[in-house]
Structure 1
Amino acid sequence: MDFAFDARTEELRAKLLAFMDEYVHPAEQVVHEQRAGLDSPWENVPVVEELKAEARRQGLWNLFLPDSEYGAGLTNLQYAPLAEIMGRSPQLAPTVTNCAAPDTGNMEVLAQFGDERQKKQWLEPLLAGEIRSAFAMTEPEVASSDATNITTHIERDGDEYVITGRKWYISGAMHPDCRIFIVMGKTDPDGADIRRQQSMVLVPRDTPGVTITRAMQVFGYEDHYHGGHAEVVFDHARVPVSNLIGEEGGGFAIAQARLGPGRIHHCMRLIGMAERAIELMCRRAVSRDAFGKALAQQGVVQNWIADARVAVEQLRLLVLKTAWMMDTVGNKGAHTEIQAIKIATPRTVVGILDRAIQLYGAGGVSQDFPLAELYAGARTLMIADGPDEVHQRSLARRELKKYL
């Protein structure tokens, strides 16, 4: 395993670091100020649109997609340090580079499983940043940690599918440019194989019978950057059979293919969040005095900073190893490593952010610093894309299987 950056990665890192310093970080406060002056918090913010144009001009666009026909053609190992840099401003940087979930996962699904018409109609405008999208899987009335539990019905009626169900925490659905949902439901609810009961269909947002009932908050945040999270009702919504992605019964497998890259992308960005937290801790520690000496001279603060540095270095190596394995043996071959980083990274970064918040005192939980919002995002990732306990269960079974 060689984790040294190649020439292309070095070039993109330098451009991205400069872009972050010159454009992204200065815009973080501007976004809040401009959004406060809008008629609706879901409207497009002018500075965000300006940054998108600049990122595209600089070639910092669609870096996440390994398919060179549609994206940058980077390997997971090449993309990892770039995603980490974007993770230092996880709400803004991925959005303005067109590398933000849920669009990234949806573009990957369409690139891998969509037919030519679906790619032309939906993938191309998503790649161009002309529209946004949402992924509708999670449901409020079942334990969605087990995707086989979903109850949304996708019933065929002649040349149409009729979709009926209720979803929530559907990321991206509140964005004014959201035009398409990828909806997972059951086309064969009584099928013998519980992992072949589900299918995925494309449902335009303006389809009759599709109603966004409310925006969902995450620790009080509405996550405007990523288009928010919504509760959505599908009441006998009809779409053509040609809107099926892949084949009937293939929804569960497509979901797993979508979630593998998504999980490592989250972990890459989480390391950037942790690096931002360490930087903020150090700046605070050297600028504040308590009980007659600088916070940086307090033993407990030194321990927090040292432990955070050790933890981040460990996590980065594990994420890079996982990226390397995904590139060399595929997502299935890296299954154990993907689960390991999904367990270890969010919980470790939550701990680092918690210490940083403690160091900032009242400021740490305020809107004047990014720590509270970073914490909300990191803590959510202990649930999103499969909760820790599901990954632990699967990982333990894999280990135990060697001895049974």
Structure 2
Amino acid sequence: MRYKPYIQTLLFAALSVLLVFCMIRFPQDSFHAALRGLKIWWDVVFPALLPFMILSEIMMGFGVVHFIGVLLEPLMRPLFKVPGTGGFVMAMGFSSGYPVGPKLATQLRQQKLVTRAEGERLVCFTSTTDPLFIFGAVAVGFFHDATLGITIAIANYVGALLVGIMLRFHDRRGQITSYTTDQNQPLLLRALQAMHRARLKERRPFGQLMGDAVMSSFQTLFVIGGFIIIFSVIIEFISMGAISIVLASILTTVLSLFQLPEDLSQVFVIGFFEVTQSMQYMSELNTPIGMEIKLAVASALVAWGGISVHAQVASIISSTDMRYKPYFIWKGIHAFIAGALAFLFWKPFQSLALFQFTLPAFAEQTPTGGLILTWNNFQHIGLFASLFLLGLALISYMIHLISKRRLNN
């Protein structure tokens, strides 16, 4: 369309003016919404992501990512059609949550360690929430039962892996990174050589590398904080006005076709933009809803992440040639799969005695209902990432030995 750019410009300008008008018209509501977003960022997001972002930057400088890349090549390449370095991105993304996966994938793309197609695949299936949010905020904070987090976590991570496998068919004609299939040298030796070469190529001294890692991590986290605060304000205005009523009425019609309570329409409207507030709204519903329905909705919205997270990801990948559109589409698919898996998994998991134990909370509740992080939380997240990477490495090494044996025969 000839006038499409002009229409988009006019639309964005009108929306920004409308937002400023609402902030002037409702200054008290705007202030409290912004304060709520700031509290979420400062209490949970900032301390949870900062250590992992800094450490991941340092590991990339020391060549650890190259070591993991060679080690995981036999697994990641045939399964997800991404280089072995994607295993590092997947482990850190699954354990640290939004938007660590896209951030690391962007860095790999900037260093030309992945192609555009491979980077888009990584961004789509490694962008998940973290165990801290699932167990601490959703399961303990809102549902008051840590064992329910098992169903949501497994549904989300299994769903992400299934999406990763399906993403093999994304941009099938896109370029792929070159890789060696030399079976003469041991896999571990090749991994060590790749790490050594990367370390020699990195000419920054340790002090500069550490400083750059801190500066880059702080910059990314402040951008994330800005998105969280502004979307908290936007959600407040949407829930106050006619937009929420119109969207909720449309969703009510759709939900009635599946014989679901109409009160869930407001949960979906809020969850489309931001997950945390939708979980709180659902926990306060007076309408009797089956736990399998609640878990399915919660799992789907957690997998979706909200437009707030989508805006963060779009901002992070904008420095590369990777596109946002595939992320939007595949996160919708991930949400559907995660919701369906949570609905199917809940009853079997509840009937297994194995899952009837008390889980340590990933976050402790304050007397006012908030969440705080303790040293135990970082131990849980670090252990999760380490065990995940170790498991991937063992599976990859077994695949390597099997393929080597076949070649020798």
Please give the TM-score of this superposition, normalised by the length of structure 1: 0.27
Please give the TM-score of this superposition, normalised by the length of structure 2: 0.27
| Structure of higher RCO (CA pairs closer than 8 Å, 6+ residues apart) | 2
